[in-house]
Amino acid sequence: MIKELRRVVGELLDELDGVVALRESSEGVAPHLFRSGDDLTEMVLAPKYPMASVVDLLQNADPSVQLGVVARGCDERALIEMAKRQQVNLDNLKIIGIACSAEEAEECRCATPYPQNLLVGEKVKGVEDRLIAEHEALTRQERLEFWKRQFAKCLKCYGCRNVCPECFCEECVLEDELWAQTGVLPPPFPSFHVIRAMHTVGKCVGCGECELTCPADIPLTILYSLLRRDAKELFGYETGASIEDQPPLLVTLDQVPIRG
Amino acid sequence: MTEEFEPRIVAFLCNWCSYAGADSAGVARIPSPPNILPVRVMCSGRVSPEMVLRAFRAGADGVLVLGCHIGDCHYDSGNHRTAKRMPVLRRLLGYIGIEPERLRLDWVSAAEGGKFAQVTAEFTETVRELGPARQVMEL
C-alpha cells in the first residue's frame, strides 16, 4: 500500500507544489512537505497523525499554494468541516485518500475508516463504538459518577483543544474566567468539559485525537460521539459528510445561514 | 431541623417578548413564584450554553430560557439559535448525569402573562422535586 501511495504522490508532484505526508527519519515520524525530486522512500503511512491542521498552517502561510495531502477518513472529514468555516481552501487542495486497516479501525472504534476520495488502499467496514453501548447502559447516577471521576483527572493541559482540527478560535472561552474557572484544578464539574463538548456539536469528525492526546486518559470521544449522533438525529447533519451540508448550529430552522 | 428546599431559578428572558410577558403577568396580578431570578437579555439567542452553565455555577438549581415564539423574533431568527442549541445542551447534561429537566426552554410572548406564570410555576415544582443542584454539581 505504501508503494502505491508513493507512486500516486510521485505522479501528483508533477502538478502540485507539494504533498503533505508522514515522513520517517532518525527523529521519528512527523508530517513533511514532500516536493518534486524528494526521496519518497522516506514516506510512511502510520501512525495516524492529524493532517488537517498542517494543511491549515501551510495554506495560511501561502494562500495560493497548490497542495496535496495524504488523508485518512477522519482527516478528510476534518478538512471538509474546516473548509465550511473558512479555515482551509479545498479548491487548492488535492486530497489523496488512504483507507485505514481493519486493526486501525478497531483501535479508533471508527465508524467510517475511509475517505470519499479514496485513492490508495481498500475500504474496510466501520466499527461500532462499544464504549457508547456501555455508556448507554448506565443509569443517570452511574453516568454522573463516571464523568465526575473522569473529569476529576483533568490536568487542564488544553491538549484536547490544541490537537482538535476543529478548534481554531483565536480567543478560547475555556481560557476566560467568566465562563470556565481559570487557575483551578481539576476544573470544577461540569463547566469546562461541557463547554468544550458543546463546541464540538456539528464539528467533531470523530478523529479521536483529543482522547489520544489526553494525558489523563479521559474518554472524551464518548461524549462527542453521542453529540455527533444527536446532530444526526436532531438536525439530520453528518459531520464531514459533504461540503454542501450546512452546520446545524450556524443556520436557522429554515436553513438560512446565521451571520455573526 | 432542616430547612425546606426552595429552588433558585435563573430565568433568561428576552427583552421583546418574555420580559414583557413577565410584566403582563404582574400587571394582570397573576401570581408567579418568587423563586425566579430574571435576567433580561436582548434576545434568547444571546443565551449561550456558557451562560446557562455560568448560572448553574452561580448556584442556580434550574435555568429557564424564555424567548419569543418562532416567527416572532424581534431579530427575525435569533430564537432559532436557541431552538437548536438548548435541546442539544439538555441531552449533553443528561449524558454526564445531570437531570436535563434542570434546563427548560419555552416561548412566551408579551401578551402571555398567564403562560409566564404557568411555565414558571411548573418549572419551580419540577426543580423542587429534583432537589438542589449542589447534589450533582461542584459549585
Domain B9-129 top-level CATH class: alpha beta
| Residue B25 CB coordination number (10 Å) | 21
Average pLDDT, chain A: 94
* pLDDT, average across residues A187-199: 93
- Domain end residue (candidates: A120, A146, A162): A120
A151 and A105 within one domain: no
Which pLDDT does position B94 carry in this prediction? Answer: 96
- Residues A84-111 pLDDT 10s: 999 999 999 999 999 999 999 999 999 9
| Mean pLDDT of the region A42-68 | 94
Q: How far is CA B126 from CA A10, A259, B119, B129, in A?
A: 65, 36, 10, 5
Beta strand extents in B1-139 (DSSP E only) = 9-14, 36-41, 62-67, 103-107
C-alpha distance from A199 to closest chain B C-alpha (Å): 9
The minimum CA-CA distance between A226 and chain B, rounded to whole Å, is: 8
How wide is the angle at C-alpha B80 spanned by C-alphas B74 and B86, nearest 5°? 125
Overall domain count for chain A: 2
Q: Is A260 part of any domain? A: no
Q: Which of B79, B25, B105, B54 is nearest to A181 (CA)?
A: B54
Other beta carbons within 10 angstroms of residue A1's beta carbon come to 12
User: Is residue A259 assigned to a domain?
Assistant: no
Domains of chain B: which residue ranges?
9-129
Contacts of A181 in chain B (CB under 8 A): 57
What is the pLDDT at residue A260? Answer: 58
Neighbours of B72 (CB within 10 A): 14
Task: Please indicate, yes or no, if residue A6 is contained in any of the structural domains.
Answer: yes
- B70·A143 Cβ contact <8 A: no
Confidence of residue A181 (pLDDT cuts 50, 70, 90): confident
Residue A255, in any domain of the structure? no
The cell for B17 is 417578548
Query: Measuring CA to CA, which residue among A22, A30, A17 is closest to residue A5?
Result: A22
Q: Which of A120, A142, A177 is the last residue of a domain?
A: A120
Q: Does A4 touch chain B (CB under 8 A)?
A: no
**Residue A81 belongs to a domain:** yes
Residue A256 forms part of a structural domain: no
Q: Give the mean model confidence (pLDDT) for residues A136-148.
A: 96
Q: Quick check: B3 pLDDT over 80?
A: no
Which cell numbers hold the place of B91?
441531552
Listed range (A173-177, B25-29, B135-139) with the worst mean pLDDT: B135-139
Q: Are residues A197 and A115 in the same domain?
A: no
Q: Do B99 and A140 touch (CB under 8 A)?
A: yes
Give the residue from B42, B96, B136 with the most A CB atoms within 10 Å of its CB, the best one to mutate.
Answer: B96
| Contact call for B49 and A195, based on CB within 8 A | yes
Give the closest of B54, B70, B91 to A230, CB-based. B91
For the cut 80, the answer to whether the pLDDT of residue A66 exceeds it is yes
Quick one: pLDDT band at residue B134, thresholds 50, 70, 90? confident
Q: Who among A143, A231, A249 is closest to B97 (CB)? A: A143
Instruction: Out of B84, B92, B138, name the one closest to residue A197 (CB).
Output: B92
- Residue A23 lies inside a defined structural domain of this protein: yes
Q: Do B77 and A252 touch (CB under 8 A)?
A: yes
What is the C-alpha to C-alpha distance for residues A191 and B139, in angstroms, rounded to an integer?
Answer: 10
User: Do B95 and A226 lie within an 8 Å CB cutoff?
Assistant: yes
Last residue of a domain, one of A120, A153, A188: A120
A173 and A115: one domain? no
Percentage of the residues of chain A whose pLDDT score is greater than 90? 91
Residue B2's pLDDT is what? 61
Residue-range definition of the domain harbouring residue A203:
130-250
3-state secondary structure at position B17: coil
Measured from the Cβ of residue B139, the count of other Cβ atoms closer than 10 Å reads: 14
pLDDT at A155 over 90: yes
CA distances from A152 to A144, A155, A184, A210 (A): 12, 8, 11, 17
Q: Give the 3-state DSSP-derived string for chain A, with helices as H, strands as E and coil as C.
A: CHHHHHHHHHHHCCCCCEEEEEEEECCEEEEEEECCCCCHHHEECCCCCCCHHHHHHHHHHCCCCCEEEEECHHHHHHHHHHHHCCCCCHHHEEEEEECCCHHHHHHHCCCCCCCCCEEECCCCCCCCCHHHHHHHCCCHHHHHHHHHHHHCCCCCCCHHHHHCCCCCCCCCHHHCCCCCCCCCCCCCCCHHHHHHHHCCCCCCCCCCHHHHHCCCCCCHHHHHHHHHHHHHHHHCCCCCCCCCCCCHHHECCCCCECCC
For residue B5, what is the DSSP state? P
